[in-house]
Amino acid sequence: MRLFSREAASRGERSPVRLAFLITSLAIGGAELMLLRLLENLDRRRFEPYVISLIDAGDLGDRISSLGIGLLELHMPRGRLRISALWTLVKFLKQWRPSILHTWMYHADLFGSMAATLAGRIPVVWCIRASSHEHGYISSLTRLAVRTAALLSHFIPARVISCSRTAMRDHIHIGYRPDKFVVIPNGFDLERFRPDPVARNAVRHELLVPEEAQLVGFVARFDPLKNHVGFLQAAASLLKVFPQVRFLLAGADVHEGNRELSEAIESAGLASVVYLMGRRTDVHRLMAALDVLVSASLSEAFPNVVGEAMACGVPCVVTDVGDSALIVDNAGRVVRVGDTAALASALHGVLSMSVAARTELGRVARARIHEHFDIRKIAQQYQTLYEQLL
């Protein structure tokens, strides 16, 4: 399946293996950012990537193009199958002939499998990025896609990559073929996400955070699964004990114009101590400014924000969902899902530490990310899998 150029063959070298990556969209999200990090760390001497978005170039298209990687937009409407887009993809696959089509998330898994079959049985690798516990919060169309994919997993994909052990078990339970699975966790850029005193001071100065204040972060899109309401309830309890504490919230739809969120903040009595940052492209700067990060999610597979904060030397308090406890291990605190009192208590414990003790906990957190989730090591796991399939 590997092709040789004449020039490369004359030197006894292989030409790069062509990899096509198909993803639902390129808006900023966990799966999309993981794909970007993989592309940034892919060995371009061994692999030649091309990215196809079912919708459009989104927030990350320019960053992908700046890597010298081709990008195809299919401009499909959300929630609708457009036959013209399918034939555009089939035509592209026939012409470019990738050795592997790597699809990311349910709709791309199914759409890409159809196109790969029509284009001439191009090997397909699927990617699972969610826990099955999230399925109660997704559309009926997506639930249908999940059930269909479970059936087709026995016949179509060469492998199914899951970003977490929990997500793998969940999907096997709903019918995915067990022996197709490979677990490759998310990886993090330790050069970008690192302790940064300059960024810490700059962010806190920009926000006018009092010098003596401790800053608690909550970075997530506004979504019922992320449990902003539960976090705000815990924050209100914490404020009674730590009147100097401040709370930084960032993510899609996390802004003053979000009436539901603003009313929840007002109801919790937190209006004067909360900073709403919205969607940000400088999350690494925000993370470096925190004293602790909270993930209060009701469901996750592998939360990127936890790894990013830990890489910045920031301790985390997380709910026991997905692989969160595995990521944090002894470098933070893990509480029961939906237990607001336990969340507040764990936050109290971390903020009660001396600065030296909390700094040491952050050092342990960063060391754990370096040992297990460095993006260079994770990218190598992907590359090894691709070569095994070839």
CATH of the domain at 225: 3.40.50.2000
**CA proximity to 95, closest of 69, 125, 75, 120:** 120
Evaluate whether residue 12 is within a structural domain: yes
Angle between helices 375-389 and 30-41 (to 10 degrees): 80
pLDDT band at 262 (very low <50, low <70, confident <90, very high): very high
**CA proximity to 219, closest of 312, 320, 95:** 312
Domain identity same for 146 and 252: no
Structure tokens at 369: 């990310």
Average pLDDT over residues 169-189: 96
184 SS3 class: coil
Evaluate whether residue 1 is within a structural domain: no
Q: What is the pTM of this model?
A: 0.90
Question: Is 167 in contact with 285 (CB distance < 8 Å)?
Answer: no
Number of residues that this document lists for the chain: 390
Beta strands in 100-141, from DSSP E residues, in sequence order = 100-104, 124-128
First-to-final CA distance of the chain: 7
Report the percent of the chain where pLDDT is more than 90: 87
Residue 297 lies in domain: 197-372
Domain identity same for 165 and 26: yes
pLDDT of residue 138: 65
Number of structural domains found in the chain:
2
Evaluate whether residue 353 is within a structural domain: yes
Average per-residue pLDDT for the chain: 93
pLDDT of residue 10: 43
Domain identity same for 88 and 225: no
pLDDT of residue 134: 53
pLDDT of residue 210: 92
pLDDT of residue 333: 98
Question: Is 358 in contact with 350 (CB distance < 8 Å)?
Answer: yes
* Cα–Cα dist 44/47, whole Å: 5
Domain identity same for 177 and 218: no
pLDDT reading at 119 higher than 50: yes
